[in-house]
Structure 1
Amino acid sequence: MFEIDIITLIMAVAGMIAFAIPFYLNSQKVKKEKAQKSNKLTEFLKNHDLNLSEQEEWRNRYFVGIDTQKNKLIYISNLNEINPILIDLYKVNHVKIHEVSRVIGTKGSSRKIIDTLSLQLVNYDGKVIGDLEFYDGEIFSDLVGEPITIKKWEATLQSIVKNHHKINRIAI
């Protein structure tokens, strides 16, 4: 067997603790920031008497949620600033994906670069009343599931809008 010197053991434990402290402090900071964001969002929802039945957050920046009972959509483009956009879905005629992209390279070896992805909510007059950014190439260098997320929300919102049209036709 080998002997371990008590001073070496103390130094090893102190080194491990010193190594772990920055990770612990960063973890606490992230938890605190997340709690503050959550509290601000909860306060906004409470002030507007909203109960989200479906919601999604991605890239630690974007947030979208829907209250299907009141047909309200809430969108936040920057969770650090929390300036929510609230849209009444009764005013929406249709929903479409708006993509800004460019093609680079030669004819044989070209590739498409997506600069922005947004979901546009169009009213009955044909005007865009909501342009909800899902991806910005100026902020992020690559896509991480945004095409799937935007298609999911387009389908969800489109089905709600179609249900409104059916209800309105029945009522007339």
Structure 2
Amino acid sequence: MRPNNPFPLLTEALQEIPKAEEAMAILILHELGSDLPRELPLRSILESLARAHGNALPPIAFHVFLEKLWEFPPLMRRLAARRDAPPEALERLAQHPDPEVRATLAFNPKTPPGILEALYRDPTLPWRVLRGLVRNPNTPKEVLEAIVRSKWGRRITERAKARLGT
């Protein structure tokens, strides 16, 4: 369930993260800037936080965002794409109910093989997750072989075969 207005939750989350002043200013300026509904500047907020912490989001940011904004998929997708995400954040994101969050995680080249294998074992296995798995350099050979055997479709099968060198 996506919150109607994530602004209060995002504001609360940023207050718990050190060195978040610039990110908070971006959020507030966005909120004050227009009466028209617009997408939150999530990329700018995350990049500001990363700059304040030596160009990597601190683990506390992942923890706080996962706890407070789990039900806001646009932010979860941004976190799943980050190459600086700690393994425990990636493990949690692999459980997210939104298939686009899991697909983003499958495409992330920093996602460890064990998490990619767990994504493949998901009984709901969305098509986009499969696409990410066959493109991710960390996808275990066994998963690629299973994809080939399962015959998910010509493009997916060909991509998995190419990755296997067969």
Higher relative contact order (CA 8 A, sep 6+): 2
The structure where strand makes up a greater share of residues is 1
Q: Compute the TM-score of the two structures, normalised by the length of structure 1.
A: 0.25
